[in-house]
Structure 1
Amino acid sequence: MSILRVTKAALLASVFSISFGYAATAADLILSPEPIAEQYVDLVLPAVSGINGKLEIDFGGITDPDSATFRAAGSLSVPIGERFGVQGDVSIGSIDGNWAFGGAVHAFTRDPSSYLLGVTAGVVVADGARLAAVGPEAELYLDRISLEGWAGWAAIDYDDVLTPNENGFFAIGDVAWYPTDDWRISLGGASILGRESLKLATEYQFSGLGFPLSGVGEVRAYDTGAYSFRVGIKGYLGDPGKSLIDRHRQDDPPNRALDLFSAAGDLLTATPPDEEPQCGPGFEYVEVREGVWDCEPILT
């Protein structure tokens, strides 16, 4: 078993065993008296502080084959009463000129002092392929550490009948640490229909600009041996004086359309075999059920 698989499995197991196991009771946590937690001790904040959003763009590259990458995305979060919120995500991405478009919808409840719990559905549409995923999403806030996860059922459908459709389990998880209120470092793992990857990412919100702007960076390793890197900027719509850690816990969850696109690996670019299998005399290669092909006797 490769180091990538072992590390990814341990990371996802840690995120989901803690985040999903304790999110429902996280409101009972006793917070340490750190400055970022003082505002939560005597006041239960709403699930979403107000209508807010973010816009982001990044550039980079991926190996095997060597290709340029581009991503742009936006999110809008809206409070529903005090305890609930909804968010919509949109994204566009390109790998060596092959474009994909995505969207996601979150519905969640949250106590910004301790947890988020909800359901999220997302889809990415590329040339000849459509990847969809739906399942529970959870976050757990432990002082300067955040555990974030999204898992459930995913399916991909191809236009080419020779490329088999797939469906099954997916999971995306991150462990994030905030060395300061405006700096985030995260280690993440993803598994989508057997395609696995690990990522190291960072975000830093600049101060003194008069508007909320962050620099972002990410390095990702895929189980195929490919690597990708990205650098970009992210601008926030909302309270200009809010710290980065408060934006992540009081405003908008991650853009899951982007997460699907980045973690899909070669799913969105899969192609049928170069040659049709040789079935032997008296047999032909036919679709025995939707998306599944096999050698079957020739009917006369």
Structure 2
Amino acid sequence: MSILRLSKATLLASVFSLPLSFAAVAADLLILSPEPVSDQDIDFVLPAVSGPNGKLELDLGMVTDPANATFRAAGSVSLPVGDMFGIQADAAIGSIGADWAVSGALHAFTRDPSSYLLGVTAGIVVAEGAWLAGIGPEAELYLDRLSLEGWAGWAALEYEDALLTDESGIFVIGDIAWYPTDDWRLSVGGASVLGRESLRLATEYQFADFGMPFSGTGELRAYDTGAFSAKIGIKGYFGAPDKSLIDRHREDDPPNRALDLFGGAGDLIFAEAEEGPLVDGEGCIIGVEEWIEGEGCMPIPD
């Protein structure tokens, strides 16, 4: 077993199992975590979403094997549904070289911003000749300056090209995030989407002194194919009052899962059939006009 596979398995197991188990207990018993990160004394449960809010994000980068430029632009809008529930819609467009895809996701969740989030999220990525969709539970657990975040479920990938094999199966996406300060996030994460596996390092820093809430972002990802990607970008927040980055992540909008599904899938969505001779059901090359002795093949009739 490679180091990448072992690290991915350990990371995803810890990230996804902990939010589901601990958050379920918190939801049943209404156990609040210790002091919130902002160190404010609150004796009530905050709403699942502080109010209508959203974010816009843009990043540029490159990927190896083969070398290509990458581009992604995305946006999210979150709305409260009463005090206990929230919904969020994600949209994104991205490219790897000359190949483009659009993606979207929809979250429905309940959350106590001081301790947990529990919900269900569905997402889809559509490219020329292929689409990938996934649906399953999403969970987050907040432990002071540490956040455990996971999304997993069932995914299906379908190609228009008959020479490519459609797939379906389990997907898992998870992150462990730490906030050294209220406006700086560091995270390590992993993804397994229909057998395509990757590990990711990411960071986000909010610039709080410019009168407009925005942050700088960076990401490094390593795929099990040997490919690597690197991205830098910016993210702007709107709709919510001024607050720290950690509070935005826990009181406003969950991660953009349209981007996560696109990034975790790697080159699956842009797969192309390998060039080569067509073979019939008997293992004979189509178009061969003479019998190949010893192979049991006969000429294919016109």
- TM-score, structure 1 as length reference: 0.91
How far apart are the structure 2 equivalents of 1:72 and 1:62? Answer: 17
* Change beyond 3 A, Cα 1:33–1:113: closer
C-alpha contact (below 8 Å) 2:134/2:154 kept by paired residues: yes
C-alpha contact (below 8 Å) 2:55/2:235 kept by paired residues: yes
How far apart are the structure 2 equivalents of 1:34 and 1:128? Answer: 47
How far apart are the structure 2 equivalents of 1:284 and 1:93? Answer: 39
| SS of residue paired to 1:36 | coil
C-alpha contact (below 8 Å) 1:140/1:148 kept by paired residues: yes
* Change beyond 3 A, Cα 1:141–1:280: closer
Residue by residue over 1:10-29, the C-alpha shift from the partner in whole angstroms, topping out at 9 and shown as x without a partner, is: 00010112111111222544
Q: Supply the AA of the counterpart residue of 2:22.
A: Y
C-alpha contact (below 8 Å) 1:90/1:103 kept by paired residues: yes
Shift of 1:97: 1.9
Counting only pairs closer than 5 Å after superposition, residues 1-300 of structure 1 correspond to structure 2 as 1-26=1-26, 28-29=30-31, 31-33=33-35, 36-39=38-41, 41-276=42-277, 278=279
Shift of 1:37: 4.3
How far apart are the structure 2 equivalents of 1:280 and 1:253? Answer: 49
Q: Supply the AA of the counterpart residue of 2:205.
A: Y
How far apart are the structure 1 equivalents of 2:261 and 2:157? Answer: 12
Shift of 1:127: 1.2
Structure 1 range deviating more: 272-281 or 43-52: 272-281
How far apart are the structure 2 equivalents of 1:7 and 1:272? Answer: 31
Structure 1 range deviating more: 14-23 or 226-235: 14-23
* Change beyond 3 A, Cα 1:282–1:78: closer
| SS of residue paired to 1:164 | coil
Residue by residue over 1:152-191, the C-alpha shift from the partner in whole angstroms, topping out at 9 and shown as x without a partner, is: 0001110101101000000000000000000000000000
* Change beyond 3 A, Cα 1:64–1:283: closer
Larger of the two Rg values belongs to structure: 2
C-alpha contact (below 8 Å) 2:215/2:236 kept by paired residues: yes
Match of 1:292 in 2: none
* Change beyond 3 A, Cα 1:210–1:196: same
Q: Supply the AA of the counterpart residue of 2:161.
A: D
Shift of 1:131: 0.4
Which has the larger share of strand?
A: 1
Q: Supply the AA of the counterpart residue of 2:46.
A: L
Q: Supply the AA of the counterpart residue of 2:260.
A: D
Shift of 1:279: 5.3
How far apart are the structure 2 equivalents of 1:122 and 1:111? Answer: 24
* Change beyond 3 A, Cα 1:235–1:282: closer
CA RMSD of aligned residues (A): 2.0
- TM-score, structure 2 as length reference: 0.90
C-alpha contact (below 8 Å) 1:196/1:222 kept by paired residues: yes
* Change beyond 3 A, Cα 1:282–1:182: closer
Shift of 1:235: 0.1
How far apart are the structure 2 equivalents of 1:3 and 1:66? Answer: 24
* Change beyond 3 A, Cα 1:35–1:178: closer
C-alpha contact (below 8 Å) 1:37/1:143 kept by paired residues: no
Runs of 4+ residues deviating >3 angstroms: 27-35, 276-285
Shift of 1:31: 3.3
How far apart are the structure 1 equivalents of 2:167 and 2:138? Answer: 22
Gaps of 5+ in 2: 287-297
Shift of 1:265: 1.3
C-alpha contact (below 8 Å) 1:54/1:234 kept by paired residues: yes
How far apart are the structure 2 equivalents of 1:252 and 1:7? Answer: 28
* Change beyond 3 A, Cα 1:103–1:235: same
* Change beyond 3 A, Cα 1:49–1:224: same
Match of 1:288 in 2: none
C-alpha contact (below 8 Å) 1:37/1:113 kept by paired residues: no
* Change beyond 3 A, Cα 1:35–1:252: closer
Shift of 1:283: 6.0
Aligned length: 287
| SS of residue paired to 1:38 | coil
C-alpha contact (below 8 Å) 1:26/1:140 kept by paired residues: no
C-alpha contact (below 8 Å) 2:76/2:89 kept by paired residues: yes
C-alpha contact (below 8 Å) 1:212/1:240 kept by paired residues: no
| SS of residue paired to 2:45 | coil
Q: Supply the AA of the counterpart residue of 1:38.
A: Q
